Structure formats: C-alpha cells, structure tokens
Amino acid sequence: MKIAYYPGCTLKTKAKNLETSALACLDALGVEYEELPRWNCCGAVFSLADDDLIHMVAPVRDLIRVQERGEDTVLTLCSMCYNTLARANDLMKNDAEKRKTINDFMDEEPDYEGNVKVVHFLDFIRDSYGFDKLKPKITKPLTGMKVAPYYGCTLLRPKEVALDRPDNPQVFHQFIAALGAEVIDFPSATKCCGAYQVLGAPDAALQVSYEIISDAVKHGAEALALTCPLCDYNMGKRQDQMFEKYEGAKDMPVYYFTQLLALALGIPADASHLELNRESARELLKTKSMI
Amino acid sequence: MPIFISTRESDDQLRKKVMEISGQNFQQCYQCGTCSGSCPMADHITVFPRRIMALLQLGNRKALEEANTPWVCASCHTCMVRCPRGIDITKVMEALRLIKLRQNIDHIEPKKLKPEQVADMPQIAMVSGFRKMTS
C-alpha cells in the first residue's frame, strides 16, 4: 500500500533540498508514497492554550485527508509539521470533549477520532523499514566523515510524541551510523536552536545556535545533520552572521539527514540540491570524494 | 530584585486566568529550579522560569508584566519534560503571552520586518513567530 506523504509549506519553497532528497531516497528504497492531495499548512506550532481549539482545525483537516483515502499512516519530513500533526492527533484520540467540539465545528468534514498514525521519516526508517534492511543498500558509505546528529526540540518533546527518549535519544545516532559515518555525540544535540525567536529575539537565537555549533566543533564534528528547516535556517544560513559577531566562529557544513542518506545510497547529487546548502557543505563532500 | 509581598498586590484574577488558559496548576511548583537550569534562553531572559512560577503563586502582575521571559521563550519544552512536578511550564508561558495578545497588544510588528531579514526565512519561522507573538 502506498504511504500518504505530507510535505508542508517550507519543503515546497525554502527547503526543497529536504524534500527532493527524501523522495529520491524513498524511490531508491522501494517505498511507495503519494503526496496527500489538498493538504494545507499545519500551523507550524501546536497551540498550547487549553481554550484555543481553532488552531487545531488546520492539522486535523490534514489528518482527515489521510483518513478519507483509507490510509492509516502519514509520513512527514519537517520536524515542526511532525510535532504539530502528531500532537493534534493525540488530542483527537485522547480528549473526548475537545474531539466532539472540533468535530461539531468542522461539520463539512467527516468526524475524526485520531486513528491516523503520524510518523517522521526517521522513525519510519527505524520501525517500518528497519536499519538492518537499510544497511545493505548503502553503496557509498560516508566513511571517515564525522557527523553530529542534531535532534532539536520537536522530534523529542513533549514525550507523548517523542520518537525516542527525550533525555537520551538514539534514533538519529543509529541513522547516521547506518550510513557509515562516524557519529559524533555531543551534549547540545537536543538543545533548542532558538526556533521562531529569529523573529522576536534574533540575537538570542543567534547565540544559542552558535553555542550548539561550537559544542559540535568542540566534540570533533566535521558536519551537522539535522531534520528541521528552521534549525537549518538558524544554524546553516545564519552562520554568516555568526562570523561577524563571534570571533573564531567556524564554518560548519550543515546537511539535511535525507541528503546524507541519498548520497550514501548512491543517488546522484542533483537530487539533493546541494546548491541550497552552505558552500562548506559541498566542499566537505568533495574532500571526502562523495560528490 | 526584591519582591514586595502583599495581599493587596496579589492579583487573583491573573492567577485564575493563567490557570484557565494553561490548564496548569503552578501552585504545585516547589521551586527546585530545574526549569531555570534547563532553559536555553537563560542568558537572555530577565526573569528565570522558576521565578515566574513564584511570581504567579504570589499573583505579582507588575513583575510578571515586566519580565521578557514569555517573549524570549522558544517553546522548546525542555523545562516541561524535566519538571519533577509535571507542570507544563511551556503552557504557562503561552498563557502569559496570550493574556497580552488577546488585548491586541502585539509583541512584534510584521510590517516592520525588513525584506532582507525575511527573504531567506522559511515559512515555518514566520508562521510560528506570528502565531506566538501577534494577536
């Protein structure tokens, strides 16, 4: 059966390199998928107010799109979409009162009971595809490349939707290890990059992102692998601002996890759109003879 | 910063409102400070989350309104997963933001953002930022 795939807004514009590389990987792994028709923006953040149900309508509507196709799983790539959809699903499943209010309000849609499973590409590979099945498909292992997996917040917190233990996650480590790279474990792997505070408190966000990169450098990382387009913005694109502000700031190549997977699977580099990454990301791959 | 404690200064309405919006009982906080020690924005907030909880227990509206904490919080949920009392502090911060936003007091002005500042910015940054900081 084909798996329903939810891209989200950013993957169609600023993070094309995340989408194209991931879809090329799914093709190479023989996973059948279909982009969800008529998907809408999930709202990017889950509403944290008890009395705010209107912001549940957008993610729930996406989940209804999955349900009406008779599918039971939706695959996400963007960490923020994953978190928002998974939490909305959790609410619809476990809170009878709110479920009724939302279903009554969305009277143009069929009722939704929270029966779709929201998965992220990482736990899909771990739980449905399997690292054991993945390993033999790696034809160009990232041997000798020291990669630090950076989880960020939304794949791990809150624990109801966590892909792994929030305090000591392993799934991204296992993923990077399966690609043949050297996994660099560093304490800031689950620390927040500042997220949307790039709008409200941009200097604060820059500093926390800089601290994460510095920590990765200190632990010997040559590159950072991440899953979220907002983390990529804060820690990838904003590195130029770090060089201006912090003495000794190092240029850290940043990749989406699916770009590294695509390269390791031997998929031509065009699919990964590395021109959207930092120049240092391309240079590092050249020195490792990966492109 | 000394806190002046007085029953006359205690704003019970605010305490009730925060409890209602967040669904969290901040009275349960026993001031261990795990949240403050976990906060990635600790260098940038004027009042640590532990103290926000104390100020809420006291109903000190003035001190709470002066704190930039809810506006620098990035909703990373680290305090929430570590709180030994099971309080979702992230929801408390959201309630403090919403009390302002629901009076149409925005924290950021989208039209004041410079085009070059947002040119490369991913949509999720703007959608989430506007959701958290505008009414």
Q: Report residue B97: phi and psi, to 5°.
A: -65, -45
Digit-coded pLDDT (tens) for A20-53: 999 999 999 999 999 999 999 999 999 999 999 9
Share above pLDDT 70 across residues of chain B, in percent, rounded to a whole number: 99
Q: Within 10 Å of residue B99's Cβ, how many Cβ atoms?
A: 18
Cβ-proximal residues to A1 (8 Å cutoff; 6+ apart), any chain: A32, A71
In terms of CA atoms, which chain A residue is nearest residue B94? A48
d(CA A228, nearest CA chain B) in Å: 10
- Distance, in Å, from the CA atom of A282 to the CA atom of A279, rounded to the nearest integer, reads 5
> Can you say how many angstroms the Cα of residue A12 is from the centroid of all Cα atoms in its chain?
14
Q: Report residue A133: phi and psi, to 5°.
A: -75, -30
- Span A108-134, average pLDDT: 98
Judge whether B132 and A45 are in contact, CB under 8 Å: yes
pLDDT-derived band at A196, boundaries 50, 70, 90: very high
DSSP SS3 for A76: strand
Q: Give the one of A80, A166, A199 whose C-beta lies nearest to B126's C-beta.
A: A199
Query: What angle in degrees, to the nearest 10, is found between the helix axes of A257-264 and A16-29?
Result: 40
CB-based contact, B69 to chain A, within 8 Å: no
pLDDT-derived band at B7, boundaries 50, 70, 90: confident
| Helix intervals (H) in chain B | 12-22, 34-38, 49-58, 61-66, 69-72, 78-82, 89-101, 115-118, 123-133
Judge whether B82 and B14 are in contact, CB under 8 Å: no
d(CA A123, nearest CA chain B) in Å: 20
Digit-coded pLDDT (tens) for A169-193: 999 999 999 999 999 999 999 999 9
pLDDT-derived band at A208, boundaries 50, 70, 90: very high
- Span B76-104, average pLDDT: 98
* pLDDT (0 to 100) of residue A220: 98
* pLDDT (0 to 100) of residue B3: 74
* pLDDT (0 to 100) of residue B88: 98
- Distance, in Å, from the CA atom of B118 to the CA atom of B82, rounded to the nearest integer, reads 34
Best of A17, A80, A196, A254 to disrupt the B interface (most B CBs within 10 Å) is A196
Judge whether A221 and A198 are in contact, CB under 8 Å: no
pLDDT over threshold 80, residue B97: yes
Residue B115, preceding bond cis, omega within 30 degrees?
A: no
Tell if the CB–CB gap between A44 and B123 is shorter than 8 Å.
yes
pTM for the model stands at: 0.97
Digit-coded pLDDT (tens) for B101-119: 999 999 999 999 999 888 8
* pLDDT (0 to 100) of residue B117: 85
* pLDDT (0 to 100) of residue B1: 67
Residue B96's region, left for phi above 0, alpha for psi from -120 to 50, else beta, is: alpha
pLDDT over threshold 70, residue A153: yes
| Helix intervals (H) in chain A | 16-29, 57-68, 79-94, 96-105, 121-123, 131-134, 171-178, 197-200, 202-218, 229-232, 239-245, 257-264, 279-287
Residue A73's region, left for phi above 0, alpha for psi from -120 to 50, else beta, is: beta
Judge whether A288 and A142 are in contact, CB under 8 Å: yes
DSSP letter assigned to residue A127: I
CB-based contact, B42 to chain A, within 8 Å: no
- Span B26-45, average pLDDT: 98
Tokens 């998974």 belong to which residue?
Answer: A86
Identify residue B21 by its one-letter amino acid code: I
In angstroms, how far apart are the furthest CA atoms of chain B? Answer: 50
Q: Is A69 exposed, middle or buried (0-12, 13-18, 19+ CB in 10 A)?
A: middle
pLDDT-derived band at B5, boundaries 50, 70, 90: confident
CB-based contact, A226 to chain B, within 8 Å: no
DSSP strand pairing (A3-6 vs A33-35): parallel
Digit-coded pLDDT (tens) for B60-85: 999 999 999 999 999 999 999 999 99
pLDDT over threshold 80, residue B4: no
- Distance, in Å, from the CA atom of A226 to the CA atom of A213, rounded to the nearest integer, reads 12
pLDDT over threshold 80, residue B15: yes
* pLDDT (0 to 100) of residue A276: 97
CB-based contact, A165 to chain B, within 8 Å: no
- Distance, in Å, from the CA atom of A279 to the CA atom of A103, rounded to the nearest integer, reads 48
> Can you say how many angstroms the Cα of residue B31 is from the centroid of all Cα atoms in its chain?
17
Tell if the CB–CB gap between A194 and B40 is shorter than 8 Å.
yes
- Span A276-281, average pLDDT: 98
Q: Give the one of A15, A48, A204 whose C-beta lies nearest to B122's C-beta.
A: A15
pLDDT-derived band at A280, boundaries 50, 70, 90: very high
- Span A97-107, average pLDDT: 98
Digit-coded pLDDT (tens) for A60-96: 999 999 999 999 999 999 999 999 999 999 999 999 9
- Distance, in Å, from the CA atom of A211 to the CA atom of B98, rounded to the nearest integer, reads 30
In terms of CA atoms, which chain B residue is nearest residue A228? B124
CA distances from A44 to A8, A9, A134, A196, A210 (A): 9, 9, 30, 10, 24
